[in-house]
Amino acid sequence: MFHSPKLCLALVLLFASALVSAQKLSDQEIEQRVNSLLQQMTLEEKAGQLTQFVGNNPQTMEMIKQGKVGSLLGVLGAEQANAAQRAAVEASRLKIPLILGYDVIHGYRTIFPVPLASAGSFDPQLIEQAERVAAKESTASGVKWVFAPMVDIARDPRWGRIVEGAGEDPYLGSVIAAAKVRGFQGKDIADPESVVACAKHYVAYGAVEGGRDYNTVDISEQLLREIYLPPFHAAVEAGTGTLMSAFQDLNGVPASANHHTLTEILRGEWHFNGFVVSDWSATHELIAHGAAANDSQAAFRGVIAGVDMDMVDGAYLSSIPALVQSGKLPQSVVDEAVRRVLRIKFKAGLFERPYADPKREKTDILTPENREVARKLAFESLVLLQNMNNVLPLNRNQTIAVIGPLANDKSSQLGPWAGNGQAGDAITPLAAFRQKMGDDHVRYAKGVDIPPFESGLAAGVAAPAPPSATGVENAETESRPASIDDALATANKADVVVLFVGELAGMSGEASSRASLDLPGDQMKLIDAVISTRKPVVLVLESGRPLNISWAPERASAIVQAWYLGVEAGNAIAHTLLGDASPSGRLPLSWPRSVGQIPIYYNHKNTGRPSAPDRWHTGYLDLAKDPLFPFGYGLSYTTFSYRNLKADSRVPQDGTLHASAEVENTGKREGTEVVQLYVHDRVAPTSRPVRELKGFQRVTLAAGEHKAVEFTVKVNDLGSYDPNMHWIVPTGTYDVWVAPDSASGLQGTFEVK
């Protein structure tokens, strides 16, 4: 008999964990079980494993029982998930479990900052922790597979999906891609609190022409390899179980039928052994691309290229058996695709534990601890762009006017692609200011409403919600009608105005490209009116992209880019603006002065005419060519100085570069600086970007404190592709910067021998 309940519990836990590890199959055992299943499968059942449908309606449930479905998307809640799983595991002939997937782009129910925002935290550890939370909440709800991380590099903010990724830089994007995969998958995807990750959208979706969603991409192999592929490679290296192939055409071959990227690079060069799922109906869309005449040809092209699972359109299910029977499609290609899917199902422990534990739904979702991670990440993501006369932090004894259409809009705090987020969970800035300062010190006016766009497509016709979009409840808690007069009166009664403008959450994300970056609706009229009061104005922008604010540095006292910060948005914004901590977020992209500068990115080439005293150099007649704010830029409530750059003077090609600089907090309060390392290879077989980020560190310093910040980089990582696409590390002189952003810093040189 055990007399101590604690001892008893410990022994039970020990026994349970021994049982779990005993169940864990070795790779060899997994191969044996996969092959034994494969031998028993009919062609229809094989095509079924390669098929994903959406939802669990009665017809789909029947197909699951017939072994015609390998995965479902968008089945949420343990009860629903378990019902679908039961049909597969108990009622289908071979009892192969489903893998249930969902878009968990920045949180499942506890919604974190949109990915573009959290990239600006430059804090991979915290991002990993957030994805751990997302994995825990997802699995509690029966979701074992997330369609994330989205790792598309984007240089064009007209593209609505720029909000889903980590911005313009392949190094930052790679570090974050790996952190997210680690966070989702944990140490083992079989862990009941881990999900299988899906790096998407493979590949170069972010390069769509004109920033128009789904549009054509035609880029060089060098650009593909140096800019768009690295975050996918990082996700593969971090062990992502799956990838999603993209919608768009890539150099004449649609990404979802592209053998070069899906097989030669992904499997051949990177040895990826998970599986690839197509994006939503991307197989069927090969017909519209002009790459196939019908679903049968589309399925053939997809599976031959290396897309293993077909999302929602049923083309694989309807075509693969006949394609194999007619001898057009080798059986071995189909078997290999099935093997990849089954392997991940075994590795994810789905055969041992197909069901979600319904108890966890009550204990693991939207907990105070989860919200705390969201608040921390929101705080670190916010970027202070200007702070004239130290108008920030605000003085708590002042009366503040909280004005603007986004100050109290709950659903826009969450941002687009907000998983299973509920608008009611979000704390708005208005609510947070009231809670922190008391109602007497806070006045509010909405000012204007933001009307939805009437696009060319939607003019006169209500556009249907895209089938893959997830909506959040739109709850406006403050019902005062919007009026600029009201806003003026409110501003006049206050000491300072905090003005919340930007875009509604639905204005970025999928199928939400814009031709202009101007503030939509009458927001400029509201801004003009508020600025005319001559009160200090703190402009807080909420948006999924950089907007056109080239007027703002002259007219607003402070500028804060708050993106969409998630459930804890209001708390993070009020916390920062009231000075509870100093902001530390940085821009993960170059902020254009005008839409005409796009594409604009810091790692551009020098050109043959970079600058000159006369007009015969690269630029515009009517506008500067540099951005309004550079990549990596952001202020805090203190100041930092850099001195004493040191770098190895000579390093071998297979060696390591050491570089360091002293960074000092020269202000009066603690602050966190994001210290960045950039490199430039002066002469190489292919022209090199003027700078490339190769390292960064978040460094917290007390007032007056200084520190030597040291970087160590493998010289091999400073290389580039030669014209034949071989990776080389050219010898010769390189520039190096230790810098607060991509446009300044201390510069030195080193030689690669």
Catalytic residues: 279
The continuous run of DSSP H or E covering 180 comes out as: helix 170-185
C-beta atoms surrounding 252 within 10 Å? 11
Nearest-approach distance from CB 11 to ligand NOJ, in angstroms: 44
Which C-beta is closer to ligand NOJ: that of 256 or that of 412? 256
- Rounded distance between C-alpha atoms, residue 82 and residue 275, angstroms: 23
Number of Cα atoms under 13 Å in the Cβ half of residue 197? 33
Q: Which two tokens stand for residue 319?
A: 């075509």
Of residues 156-215, which lie at the interface with ligand NOJ (CB under 6 A)? Answer: 200
Of residues 81-110, which lie at the interface with ligand NOJ (CB under 6 A)? Answer: 103
Write the interaction track for ligand NOJ spanning residues 53-82; mark x where CB under 6 A is met and - where it is not.
--------------------x---------
Nearest-approach distance from CB 376 to ligand NOJ, in angstroms: 26
Nearest-approach distance from CB 531 to ligand NOJ, in angstroms: 39
Note the helical H segments in 326-444.
331-347, 359-363, 368-381, 410-414, 429-437
Which C-beta is closer to ligand NOJ: that of 370 or that of 468? 468
Which C-beta is closer to ligand NOJ: that of 513 or that of 636? 513
Which C-beta is closer to ligand NOJ: that of 150 or that of 531? 150
Size of the site for ligand NOJ (CB under 6 A): 8
- Rounded distance between C-alpha atoms, residue 692 and residue 714, angstroms: 14
Nearest-approach distance from CB 360 to ligand NOJ, in angstroms: 24
Residue from 108, 112, 147, 678 touching ligand NOJ (CB under 6 A): that is: 147
Tell me if residue 485 falls in helix, strand or coil. Answer: helix
Write the interaction track for ligand NOJ spanning residues 420-459; mark x where CB under 6 A is met and - where it is not.
----------------------------------------
Q: Which two tokens stand for residue 255?
A: 């990404």
391 and 488 Cβ atoms separated by less than 8 Å:
no
- Rounded distance between C-alpha atoms, residue 203 and residue 173, angstroms: 14
Which C-beta is closer to ligand NOJ: that of 247 or that of 629? 247
Q: Name residue 516's amino acid.
A: S
101 and 145 Cβ atoms separated by less than 8 Å:
yes
Would you count residue 468 as binding ligand NOJ (CB under 6 A)? yes
Of residues 253-282, which lie at the interface with ligand NOJ (CB under 6 A)? Answer: 279-280
Which C-beta is closer to ligand NOJ: that of 147 or that of 750? 147
Nearest-approach distance from CB 136 to ligand NOJ, in angstroms: 20
Residue from 152, 510, 568, 692 touching ligand NOJ (CB under 6 A): that is: 510
Long-range contacts of 319-325 (CB under 8 A, 24+ apart): 319/47, 319/295, 320/43, 320/46, 320/47, 320/50, 321/43, 321/44, 321/47, 322/296, 323/296, 323/299, 324/43, 325/43
Nearest-approach distance from CB 232 to ligand NOJ, in angstroms: 14
Q: Which two tokens stand for residue 453?
A: 């766009």
Tell me if residue 662 falls in helix, strand or coil. Answer: strand
**Residue by residue, what is the 3-state secondary structure of 383-410?**
EEEEEHHHCCCCCCCCCEEEECCCCCEH
Nearest-approach distance from CB 487 to ligand NOJ, in angstroms: 38
Nearest-approach distance from CB 447 to ligand NOJ, in angstroms: 34
Which C-beta is closer to ligand NOJ: that of 147 or that of 711? 147
Which C-beta is closer to ligand NOJ: that of 467 or that of 685? 467
286 and 257 Cβ atoms separated by less than 8 Å:
yes
Q: In degrees, to the nearest 5, what angle opens at C-alpha 663 toward C-alphas 662 and 664? A: 120
**Site for ligand NOJ, rule CB under 6 A:** 73, 103, 147, 200, 279-280, 468, 510
